[in-house]
Amino acid sequence: MFIITSAVVACDNSISQDDKSSLPSSSGKFGEVLVVVDTFYENRQTGIVLDKIFSEPLVGMPQAEGQFRASTVPAKAFKSILKRSRNVLKLSIGKRKRTAINIEEDVWAKDQLMIQITAASDTDAARILLKNVQTIRDYYNVRELERLKKQFKGKPLKEIMDSISKQYQIEMVIPPGFVQMAKNDNGFWLKKEKSIGQHQIMQGVCVFIRPYNSDSVFSNESMIVNRNAFTKEMIQGTPDSSYMAVYEEYRPATKEVNLNGTYALEYRGLWYMVKDFMGGPFLHYTVVDEKNNRVVELDAFVFAPKFDKREYLRELEAVLKTVSVN
């Protein structure tokens, strides 16, 4: 199984660049994965693990939302426009098939990612999938973030970006639609709003800075205290006495990440407005900028009470992952 897991890094480079340039653009919405698997296996062990990969709830959300929105199609129906899907997981299961995992790009469309698994039986396929649950999620998530970052760079808000770079020595890409709400010497926050019908959707991005004193900056307690201090001062609600705070009854989930070559700790948790009826998920990165002896806190939050929030938060994750603190 170690060999099989390691094989996930393999890529298919057999298609020439000239051939790829003539491919149609990939189709589908962000967060969608098309699973190609025969119905027989969809209802057995393989299907159980597929459901775990894509439907297991994403941490740090107020309501259960799966990691991705997956739809399935049997191999015989996988043709025509379906082959242009942006994210494809294709399973080929049958006797005498060699067990393998391959990562292939731009097979039938530009900017397409396909993970192809072959296995001799339902049991073997389920075992391979189970061994690579997080790896498969990570491949699709990283590709979606790269697509978003590429999209953001098309029409960035240069004026705000230049101001941030000059005042805070932070490089980041700000996509269209964001406005600067407030700032001081220690940080700033940006907001993007829209309405669908009568319902408001708000996305926020915050950056705040403090001196680096010790590794305790990476604790949950430190993040909560400093985030609350910043949001209480900078993000108030409609009632004059209301302000944003971390919902501490839900302990933020953490993991270590590499943020553009810099070690960071990721937090996913919930926020609410003190003395107001608003709340939602937030994503936070704590980064130590050793060169300038400071801690840089990157934060994003979503308010979308009538809608799923996963893709709104993924958009903000892509924004935060454009940041360079040096």
Parent domain of 136? 2-152
| Interval 26-52 mean pLDDT | 95
Cα within 13 Å of Cα(40), Cβ side = 10
316 φ/ψ angles, rounded to the nearest 5 degrees: -70, -35
Nearest Cα residue to 323 out of 101, 164, 112, 121: 164
**Residue 112 falls within a domain, yes or no?**
yes
| CATH number reported for the structural domain that contains residue 259 in this entry | 3.40.1000.10
Tell me the pLDDT band of 122, cut-offs 50, 70 and 90: very high
Residues 162 and 109 in one domain: no
Total residues belonging to the chain? 326
Q: Of 129, 152, 175, which marks where a domain is finished? A: 152
Residue 118 shares a structural domain with residue 19:
yes
Q: Answer yes or no: do 315 and 167 share one domain.
A: yes
Residues 92 and 123 in one domain: yes
pLDDT given at position 138: 96
| Banded model confidence at residue 4, pLDDT cuts 50, 70, 90 | very low
**Domain identity same for 31 and 75:** yes
Q: For the segment 189-210, what is each residue's pLDDT rounded down to a tens digit? A: 999 999 888 889 999 999 999 9
The conformation of residue 213, written as its DSSP 8-state character, comes to -
325 found inside a domain = no
Has residue 16 got a pLDDT over 80?
no
Region of 244 on the Ramachandran plot (φ > 0 left; ψ -120 to 50 alpha; else beta): beta
Q: Which residues pair with 264 in a beta bridge?
A: 257, 287
How many domains, in total, are found in the chain? 2
For 54-93, write each residue's pLDDT tens digit: 999 999 999 999 999 999 999 999 998 999 999 999 999 9
Per-residue confidence (pLDDT) for residue 3, from 0 to 100: 41
Going by their DSSP bridges, the two strands 11-12 and 199-211 should be labelled as unpaired
Does residue 195 share a domain with residue 262?
Answer: yes
Question: Per residue in 298-322, pLDDT tens?
Answer: 999 999 998 999 999 999 999 999 9
56 within domain boundaries: yes
Residue 326 lies in a domain: no
Q: Which tokens sit at 95?
A: 């006797």
Same domain, 146 and 266: no
